[in-house]
Amino acid sequence: MTKKKLTTVYTEIIEALGYSLTTKGEVYFELAGVKTPYTISKKQLVIPTDEWLKDPDWETTIPFHPLSENTQRKKSEVQESLTLSVCNRVYQVTAHLIQFLFDLALNTDAHKKLTPEQRDVLRIIPNVDERTVNDVRKLVSGKLTFKGETALINVFVKRNGLWKGEEYPRVATVTFPIKDQENNDDKKIFEVLFRVRDRAALFDLIRWIYPGFDNSIDNYSYGSRSSIAPNFHSLMMAFASMASCTNRVVKIFEDGFEDEMKGQLINTKWVNNMASLMEYRDDIPPLDGNIGDANDDELNKLTDRAERREKAAERKELRRDVSTGRRSIIRERDSDTREPRKVSLFNRGEEDRGRGRDENSRERSSIFGRGRDSERGRSGSRFGDRDDDRGRDSGPVSLFRRR
């Protein structure tokens, strides 16, 4: 099979999220019929095409390149935005399908043209009336969101998580916050009051769309051991598992409801490429906005490395200065003498005490014992002998005392 370009894979993912692209690779989303640039930190999101890479505009654009992910760092701006986009896309499609099916259940005139499979779906939500449809609309349009406590579906990518009883370096965990509203005593779902039968019908429909609703963490989450971009890999595979559920519903109702299902099918052509991310590792170099900020451990390591490099540089400079004579490591001379102080291996030398000794004479140290000064000014011999300082030649040196 011919390898796709990485930018082609990225384009397919962007379109799966419900966004559109210009010929330059700029990403847009549509809101109330108006196309609006998709921005991150006030910068236009773009696919890093060959043209963009030749002359990247870092001032006004930010590239979509989640394979840049550094596994030791925090999630990047693009990764965080991608997670929210996945949640939003799944929420938008699911909410649309829920509203469509309740509207269809109310419209009995349309039932005549339904296929047998389509009629089977409507049997899940019988006894739908105007109040049912209105309450569902209040919930879907006014209360449900794609993030936070009032989310229909929530996705969070975390480190070192459990999935289906096994540990994974990354897990995209999928939950349904709306599930906590099913058995409220006040019969409300996110502050919208439902009749008992309508609330039951709503949750029955959600369970039909998502058969793994009651155990979503195992059924729709995904654990990744990928050595390349595990955050990205786990998130996209979890997205694919949820998309497979909504796509099944869309395909059932495409026949006869083309307008209502337009834009609701989530493209999953990119899924097979998630198993071969290593092939794309070197296609595009890591790009800012996708790498992630350093965490505390990494910052501490970087600080330690910088300090070690600085100390090593100082030692290298000192060795160079000493070898060239620009700096000395010998101890400075004592303040009371002009010559450096000499240190004995065993005993410290004594200063001359003769009346006529020169103030600037050197201290001498004995190797075995202290030198003895002559009363007439003779200096101490190295081995304890005394030399006559009146000019006569000194005799042979003895290791033992003269008699």
Q: Same structural domain for residues 97 and 155?
A: yes
pLDDT value at residue 350: 47
Domain membership of residue 369 (yes or no) is yes
Q: Tell me the C-alpha distance between 48 and 193, whole Å.
A: 48
Q: Tell me the C-alpha distance between 84 and 146, whole Å.
A: 8
pLDDT value at residue 304: 60
Q: Same structural domain for residues 26 and 84?
A: yes
C-alpha pair distances (Å), 355 with each of 97, 255, 337, 362, 364? 115, 125, 18, 16, 17
Domain membership of residue 81 (yes or no) is yes
Q: Same structural domain for residues 345 and 274?
A: no
Strand pairing category for 166-175 and 39-40: unpaired
Domain membership of residue 116 (yes or no) is yes
* Separation of CA 315 from chain center: 35
Residues ≥6 apart with Cβ < 8 Å to 60: 43, 44
Q: Same structural domain for residues 73 and 197?
A: yes
Domain membership of residue 144 (yes or no) is yes
Q: Which residues of the chain have pLDDT under 70?
A: 1, 294-307, 327-403
Q: Same structural domain for residues 274 and 386?
A: no
Q: Same structural domain for residues 139 and 207?
A: yes
Residue 197's domain spans which residues? 6-293
> How many other C-beta atoms are found inside a 10 Å radius of the C-beta of residue 236?
26
Domain membership of residue 114 (yes or no) is yes
pLDDT value at residue 98: 97
61 φ/ψ angles, rounded to the nearest 5 degrees: -130, 155
The tens digit of pLDDT for each residue in 138-176 reads 999 889 899 888 999 999 999 999 999 999 999 999 999
Are the CB atoms for 64 and 289 separated by under 8 Å? Answer: no
Domain count of the fold of the chain? 2
Could you write out the three-class secondary structure of 332-374? CCCCCCCCCCCCCCCCCCCCCCCCCCCCCCCCCCCCCCCCCCC
Q: Same structural domain for residues 203 and 349?
A: no
- In 17-76, alpha helices (H): 50-54
Give per-residue burial for 49-74: e unless 16+ CB within 10 Å, then b: beebeeeeeeeebbbbbbbbbbeeee
Domain membership of residue 389 (yes or no) is yes
Q: Same structural domain for residues 242 and 346?
A: no
Q: Which residue's entry shows tokens 């999220």?
A: 17
Domain membership of residue 311 (yes or no) is no
User: Tokens representing 117?
Assistant: 């499979």
pLDDT value at residue 292: 82
Q: Same structural domain for residues 52 and 160?
A: yes
Q: Same structural domain for residues 252 and 384?
A: no
pLDDT value at residue 381: 45
pLDDT value at residue 148: 86
Q: Same structural domain for residues 171 and 251?
A: yes
Domain membership of residue 300 (yes or no) is no
Q: Same structural domain for residues 343 and 285?
A: no
